[in-house]
Amino acid sequence: MISVIGSGRVGATTAAFLMMNEVDNNIAIVDIIEGLPQGEALDLNHAAAIMGKDVKVAGSNSYEAIKGSDIVIITAGLARKPGMTREELAAKNAQIVFDVADKVKQYAPNSIVIITTNPLDVMVAVLYKRLGFPRNRVIGFSGVLDSRRMAYYASQYLNISPSAITPLVLGQHGENMYPVPELSFVYGKSLKSFLTDEQYNKVVKDTINAGADITNLRKFSSNWGPGAGLTVMAEAIKRDRKIALEASVLLDGEYGIKGYFAEVPIIIGKNGVEKIIEVDLSSEQKEKLMKSIDAIKNNLKQVPEEYIR
Protein backbone atom coordinates (compact mmCIF):
# COMPACT_ATOMS: atom_id res chain seq x y z
CA MET A 1 0.00 0.00 0.00
CA ILE A 2 1.10 3.54 -0.70
CA SER A 3 -0.15 6.37 1.50
CA VAL A 4 -0.30 10.03 0.64
CA ILE A 5 -0.52 12.43 3.58
CA GLY A 6 -2.18 15.71 2.63
CA SER A 7 -4.78 15.65 -0.13
CA GLY A 8 -4.27 19.19 -1.38
CA ARG A 9 -3.01 19.86 -4.89
CA VAL A 10 0.24 17.90 -4.70
CA GLY A 11 -1.32 15.04 -2.73
CA ALA A 12 -4.34 14.63 -5.00
CA THR A 13 -2.22 14.85 -8.16
CA THR A 14 0.16 12.24 -6.80
CA ALA A 15 -2.68 9.89 -5.88
CA ALA A 16 -4.09 10.30 -9.41
CA PHE A 17 -0.76 9.52 -11.10
CA LEU A 18 -0.20 6.54 -8.78
CA MET A 19 -3.65 5.23 -9.72
CA MET A 20 -3.18 5.82 -13.47
CA ASN A 21 0.15 3.99 -13.41
CA GLU A 22 -1.17 1.23 -11.13
CA VAL A 23 1.93 1.61 -8.99
CA ASP A 24 0.02 -0.13 -6.18
CA ASN A 25 -3.48 -1.60 -6.00
CA ASN A 26 -4.15 0.20 -2.73
CA ILE A 27 -3.69 3.88 -2.16
CA ALA A 28 -4.64 5.66 1.06
CA ILE A 29 -4.97 9.41 1.31
CA VAL A 30 -5.19 11.27 4.61
CA ASP A 31 -5.93 14.92 5.34
CA ILE A 32 -7.14 16.85 8.36
CA ILE A 33 -9.92 18.59 6.40
CA GLU A 34 -13.14 16.66 6.90
CA GLY A 35 -14.54 15.22 3.68
CA LEU A 36 -11.60 16.28 1.49
CA PRO A 37 -9.67 12.98 1.32
CA GLN A 38 -12.92 11.00 1.18
CA GLY A 39 -14.16 13.13 -1.73
CA GLU A 40 -10.87 12.86 -3.60
CA ALA A 41 -10.87 9.10 -3.07
CA LEU A 42 -14.41 8.71 -4.39
CA ASP A 43 -13.61 10.79 -7.48
CA LEU A 44 -10.39 8.84 -8.07
CA ASN A 45 -12.21 5.52 -7.69
CA HIS A 46 -14.63 6.69 -10.37
CA ALA A 47 -11.69 7.65 -12.58
CA ALA A 48 -10.13 4.22 -12.00
CA ALA A 49 -13.41 2.55 -12.96
CA ILE A 50 -13.53 4.60 -16.16
CA MET A 51 -9.92 3.92 -17.06
CA GLY A 52 -10.10 0.24 -16.15
CA LYS A 53 -7.46 0.48 -13.43
CA ASP A 54 -7.48 -2.14 -10.68
CA VAL A 55 -6.75 0.31 -7.92
CA LYS A 56 -8.67 1.12 -4.72
CA VAL A 57 -8.28 4.54 -3.23
CA ALA A 58 -9.31 5.08 0.40
CA GLY A 59 -9.67 8.55 1.88
CA SER A 60 -9.65 9.23 5.61
CA ASN A 61 -9.13 11.81 8.34
CA SER A 62 -7.62 9.11 10.52
CA TYR A 63 -4.00 8.06 10.31
CA GLU A 64 -5.01 4.50 11.00
CA ALA A 65 -5.73 4.36 7.27
CA ILE A 66 -1.98 4.26 6.52
CA LYS A 67 -1.45 1.11 8.59
CA GLY A 68 1.07 -1.23 6.97
CA SER A 69 2.08 1.10 4.09
CA ASP A 70 5.35 0.30 2.32
CA ILE A 71 5.67 3.85 1.09
CA VAL A 72 4.40 7.06 2.71
CA ILE A 73 4.43 10.31 0.76
CA ILE A 74 4.07 13.43 2.90
CA THR A 75 2.63 16.48 1.12
CA ALA A 76 0.94 17.98 4.19
CA GLY A 77 1.73 21.55 4.99
CA LEU A 78 0.65 25.14 4.82
CA ALA A 79 1.41 27.58 2.05
CA ARG A 80 2.80 30.99 2.97
CA LYS A 81 0.02 33.54 3.59
CA PRO A 82 0.39 37.28 2.99
CA GLY A 83 2.30 38.84 5.88
CA MET A 84 3.67 35.54 7.13
CA THR A 85 7.44 35.35 7.43
CA ARG A 86 9.44 32.35 6.18
CA GLU A 87 10.33 31.58 9.79
CA GLU A 88 6.67 31.54 10.84
CA LEU A 89 5.82 29.22 7.96
CA ALA A 90 8.78 26.96 8.70
CA ALA A 91 7.83 26.70 12.39
CA LYS A 92 4.20 25.88 11.52
CA ASN A 93 5.13 23.26 8.92
CA ALA A 94 7.76 21.78 11.23
CA GLN A 95 5.03 21.19 13.81
CA ILE A 96 2.88 19.48 11.14
CA VAL A 97 5.81 17.29 10.02
CA PHE A 98 6.57 16.45 13.67
CA ASP A 99 2.99 15.27 14.23
CA VAL A 100 2.83 13.35 10.93
CA ALA A 101 6.17 11.65 11.72
CA ASP A 102 4.73 10.32 14.99
CA LYS A 103 1.79 8.80 13.12
CA VAL A 104 4.02 7.26 10.46
CA LYS A 105 6.18 5.73 13.19
CA GLN A 106 3.09 4.33 14.86
CA TYR A 107 1.28 2.94 11.81
CA ALA A 108 3.92 2.36 9.15
CA PRO A 109 7.19 1.78 11.01
CA ASN A 110 8.82 -0.10 8.13
CA SER A 111 7.88 2.32 5.38
CA ILE A 112 10.04 4.40 3.12
CA VAL A 113 9.04 8.02 3.55
CA ILE A 114 9.26 10.76 0.94
CA ILE A 115 8.43 14.37 1.81
CA THR A 116 7.58 17.41 -0.35
CA THR A 117 6.66 19.92 2.36
CA ASN A 118 8.55 23.20 2.02
CA PRO A 119 11.01 24.57 2.96
CA LEU A 120 12.15 21.13 1.82
CA ASP A 121 15.71 21.11 3.16
CA VAL A 122 14.43 21.98 6.63
CA MET A 123 11.38 19.72 6.64
CA VAL A 124 13.24 16.59 5.58
CA ALA A 125 15.70 17.18 8.44
CA VAL A 126 12.82 17.61 10.92
CA LEU A 127 11.21 14.43 9.59
CA TYR A 128 14.43 12.43 9.84
CA LYS A 129 15.07 13.50 13.42
CA ARG A 130 11.53 12.74 14.56
CA LEU A 131 11.17 9.41 12.72
CA GLY A 132 14.49 7.95 13.77
CA PHE A 133 14.44 5.75 10.63
CA PRO A 134 17.73 4.86 8.90
CA ARG A 135 18.80 7.39 6.29
CA ASN A 136 17.97 5.18 3.30
CA ARG A 137 14.29 5.34 4.29
CA VAL A 138 13.90 9.13 4.60
CA ILE A 139 13.93 10.99 1.30
CA GLY A 140 13.35 14.63 0.47
CA PHE A 141 11.60 15.18 -2.82
CA SER A 142 12.54 17.84 -5.38
CA GLY A 143 15.86 16.75 -6.88
CA VAL A 144 14.06 14.82 -9.59
CA LEU A 145 11.91 17.91 -10.21
CA ASP A 146 14.75 20.45 -10.35
CA SER A 147 16.99 18.28 -12.51
CA ARG A 148 14.28 17.23 -14.95
CA ARG A 149 13.13 20.81 -15.24
CA MET A 150 16.68 21.65 -16.30
CA ALA A 151 16.60 18.81 -18.84
CA TYR A 152 13.35 20.23 -20.19
CA TYR A 153 14.68 23.77 -20.58
CA ALA A 154 17.93 22.61 -22.20
CA SER A 155 16.09 20.23 -24.54
CA GLN A 156 14.23 23.17 -26.04
CA TYR A 157 17.51 24.55 -27.42
CA LEU A 158 18.88 21.17 -28.53
CA ASN A 159 15.64 20.00 -30.15
CA ILE A 160 15.96 16.59 -28.48
CA SER A 161 13.88 14.74 -25.90
CA PRO A 162 14.49 15.81 -22.27
CA SER A 163 14.93 12.08 -21.56
CA ALA A 164 18.11 12.09 -23.69
CA ILE A 165 19.73 14.24 -21.00
CA THR A 166 21.19 13.16 -17.65
CA PRO A 167 20.80 16.42 -15.74
CA LEU A 168 22.69 17.41 -12.58
CA VAL A 169 21.45 19.92 -10.02
CA LEU A 170 23.08 19.89 -6.59
CA GLY A 171 22.45 21.26 -3.11
CA GLN A 172 19.48 23.23 -1.94
CA HIS A 173 15.91 23.09 -3.23
CA GLY A 174 15.21 26.78 -3.70
CA GLU A 175 16.84 29.87 -5.07
CA ASN A 176 20.29 28.69 -3.98
CA MET A 177 20.22 25.38 -5.86
CA TYR A 178 23.28 24.68 -7.99
CA PRO A 179 22.40 23.57 -11.55
CA VAL A 180 25.46 22.11 -13.30
CA PRO A 181 24.97 21.88 -17.10
CA GLU A 182 28.72 21.17 -17.56
CA LEU A 183 28.22 17.89 -15.67
CA SER A 184 24.92 17.08 -17.39
CA PHE A 185 25.30 14.86 -20.41
CA VAL A 186 23.88 13.60 -23.68
CA TYR A 187 25.83 10.34 -23.69
CA GLY A 188 29.43 11.46 -23.15
CA LYS A 189 28.90 14.98 -24.39
CA SER A 190 28.46 17.78 -21.86
CA LEU A 191 25.26 19.80 -22.10
CA LYS A 192 27.33 22.95 -21.85
CA SER A 193 28.99 22.22 -25.19
CA PHE A 194 25.60 22.36 -26.93
CA LEU A 195 24.63 25.75 -25.51
CA THR A 196 25.73 29.30 -26.23
CA ASP A 197 26.69 31.32 -23.13
CA GLU A 198 23.39 33.10 -23.31
CA GLN A 199 21.44 29.83 -23.55
CA TYR A 200 23.49 28.33 -20.73
CA ASN A 201 22.67 31.25 -18.43
CA LYS A 202 19.01 31.10 -19.39
CA VAL A 203 18.80 27.34 -18.68
CA VAL A 204 20.35 27.87 -15.23
CA LYS A 205 18.07 30.83 -14.47
CA ASP A 206 14.90 29.09 -15.70
CA THR A 207 15.73 25.98 -13.64
CA ILE A 208 16.17 28.00 -10.46
CA ASN A 209 13.04 30.08 -11.08
CA ALA A 210 10.83 27.28 -12.43
CA GLY A 211 8.66 26.94 -9.32
CA ALA A 212 8.28 30.70 -8.87
CA ASP A 213 7.46 31.17 -12.56
CA ILE A 214 4.58 28.69 -12.32
CA THR A 215 3.27 30.36 -9.17
CA ASN A 216 3.52 33.84 -10.69
CA LEU A 217 1.62 32.75 -13.79
CA ARG A 218 -1.27 30.90 -12.21
CA LYS A 219 -1.13 32.15 -8.61
CA PHE A 220 -0.70 28.77 -6.99
CA SER A 221 2.29 26.53 -6.77
CA SER A 222 3.35 23.54 -8.83
CA ASN A 223 1.53 20.22 -8.56
CA TRP A 224 1.95 18.31 -11.86
CA GLY A 225 5.75 18.17 -11.74
CA PRO A 226 5.80 17.14 -8.06
CA GLY A 227 3.06 14.55 -8.64
CA ALA A 228 4.98 13.10 -11.59
CA GLY A 229 8.30 13.01 -9.72
CA LEU A 230 6.78 11.39 -6.65
CA THR A 231 5.13 8.76 -8.82
CA VAL A 232 8.41 7.92 -10.57
CA MET A 233 10.10 7.59 -7.17
CA ALA A 234 7.33 5.45 -5.66
CA GLU A 235 7.34 3.22 -8.72
CA ALA A 236 11.12 2.79 -8.55
CA ILE A 237 10.81 1.69 -4.91
CA LYS A 238 7.78 -0.53 -5.44
CA ARG A 239 9.21 -2.31 -8.47
CA ASP A 240 12.81 -2.20 -7.22
CA ARG A 241 13.85 -0.50 -10.44
CA LYS A 242 17.19 0.83 -9.13
CA ILE A 243 17.05 3.81 -11.47
CA ALA A 244 19.18 6.93 -11.14
CA LEU A 245 17.51 10.18 -10.21
CA GLU A 246 18.07 13.02 -7.80
CA ALA A 247 16.71 13.45 -4.30
CA SER A 248 17.48 15.21 -1.06
CA VAL A 249 19.25 12.67 1.13
CA LEU A 250 21.26 12.78 4.32
CA LEU A 251 24.93 13.02 3.45
CA ASP A 252 27.46 11.27 5.65
CA GLY A 253 30.75 12.40 4.18
CA GLU A 254 29.73 12.18 0.51
CA TYR A 255 30.75 15.36 -1.35
CA GLY A 256 32.67 16.30 1.82
CA ILE A 257 29.35 17.03 3.56
CA LYS A 258 28.24 15.42 6.81
CA GLY A 259 24.92 15.71 8.62
CA TYR A 260 22.95 17.69 6.05
CA PHE A 261 20.25 16.74 3.58
CA ALA A 262 21.05 17.98 0.06
CA GLU A 263 20.07 17.20 -3.52
CA VAL A 264 22.40 14.64 -5.10
CA PRO A 265 22.04 11.81 -7.61
CA ILE A 266 21.00 8.50 -6.10
CA ILE A 267 20.02 5.00 -7.10
CA ILE A 268 16.48 4.32 -5.88
CA GLY A 269 15.03 0.85 -5.34
CA LYS A 270 13.21 -1.32 -2.82
CA ASN A 271 15.38 -0.11 0.06
CA GLY A 272 14.78 3.54 -0.80
CA VAL A 273 18.20 5.14 -1.24
CA GLU A 274 20.27 2.22 -2.57
CA LYS A 275 23.34 4.29 -3.37
CA ILE A 276 24.51 7.87 -3.43
CA ILE A 277 26.35 8.77 -6.62
CA GLU A 278 29.31 11.00 -5.88
CA VAL A 279 30.15 13.00 -8.98
CA ASP A 280 33.73 14.28 -9.22
CA LEU A 281 33.74 18.04 -8.85
CA SER A 282 36.45 20.59 -9.63
CA SER A 283 37.51 22.87 -6.78
CA GLU A 284 35.41 25.67 -8.27
CA GLN A 285 32.38 23.39 -8.49
CA LYS A 286 32.93 22.24 -4.91
CA GLU A 287 32.97 25.85 -3.81
CA LYS A 288 29.64 26.49 -5.55
CA LEU A 289 28.11 23.42 -3.92
CA MET A 290 29.33 24.57 -0.52
CA LYS A 291 27.62 27.94 -1.07
CA SER A 292 24.39 26.06 -1.68
CA ILE A 293 24.97 24.01 1.48
CA ASP A 294 25.50 27.28 3.42
CA ALA A 295 22.01 28.29 2.29
CA ILE A 296 20.67 25.00 3.68
CA LYS A 297 22.46 25.68 6.98
CA ASN A 298 20.89 29.15 7.09
CA ASN A 299 17.44 27.73 6.31
CA LEU A 300 17.75 25.33 9.22
CA LYS A 301 17.90 28.38 11.50
CA GLN A 302 14.28 29.08 10.50
CA VAL A 303 12.98 26.46 12.93
CA PRO A 304 13.54 26.20 16.68
CA GLU A 305 16.53 23.99 17.61
CA GLU A 306 14.47 21.23 19.21
CA TYR A 307 13.03 20.28 15.83
CA ILE A 308 16.33 19.37 14.29
CA ARG A 309 18.88 18.64 17.02
Count of residues that interact with ligand APR, criterion CB under 6 A: 25
> Is the four-CA dihedral 226, 232, 237, 243 of positive or negative sign?
negative
φ and ψ at residue 109, rounded to 5 degrees: -65, -15
What's the CA gap between 278 and 236, in Å, rounded?
A: 20
Residue 216: CB minimum distance to ligand APR, A = 15
Per annotation, catalytic residue among 137, 148, 149, 173: 173
Q: Among 112-120, 201-209, 261-269, 272-280, which window interacts with ligand APR (CB under 6 A)?
A: 112-120
Which residue's C-beta sits nearest to ligand APR? 8
Q: Does 90 bind ligand APR (CB under 6 A)?
A: no
Q: Interface with ligand APR by CB under 6 A: which range of 25-33, 183-191, 193-201, 270-278?
A: 25-33
* 43 forms part of the interface with ligand APR (CB under 6 A): no
Of the candidates 25, 16, 74, 76, which has an alpha carbon nearest to the alpha carbon of residue 46?
Answer: 16
Q: CA–CA separation, 168 vs 299, rounded Å?
A: 22
Active site residue 173: yes
CA 5/CA 104 separation, integer angstroms: 10
Question: One symbol per residue from 60 to 79: x for binding ligand APR (CB under 6 A), - otherwise; what is it?
Answer: ---------------xxx-x
In the bound state with ligand APR, the residue whose beta carbon lies nearer, of 230 and 245, is 230
> Among 2, 3, 4, 7, which residue sits at the site for ligand APR (rule: CB under 6 A)?
7
DSSP character string of 72-123: EEE----PPPTT--HHHHHHHHHHHHHHHHHHHHHH-TT-EEEE-PSSHHHH
How far is Cα of residue 222 from the mean position of the Cα atoms in its chain?
12
Q: What is the binding site for ligand APR (CB under 6 A)?
A: 5-11, 30-33, 36, 75-77, 79, 96, 99-100, 116-118, 221, 223, 226
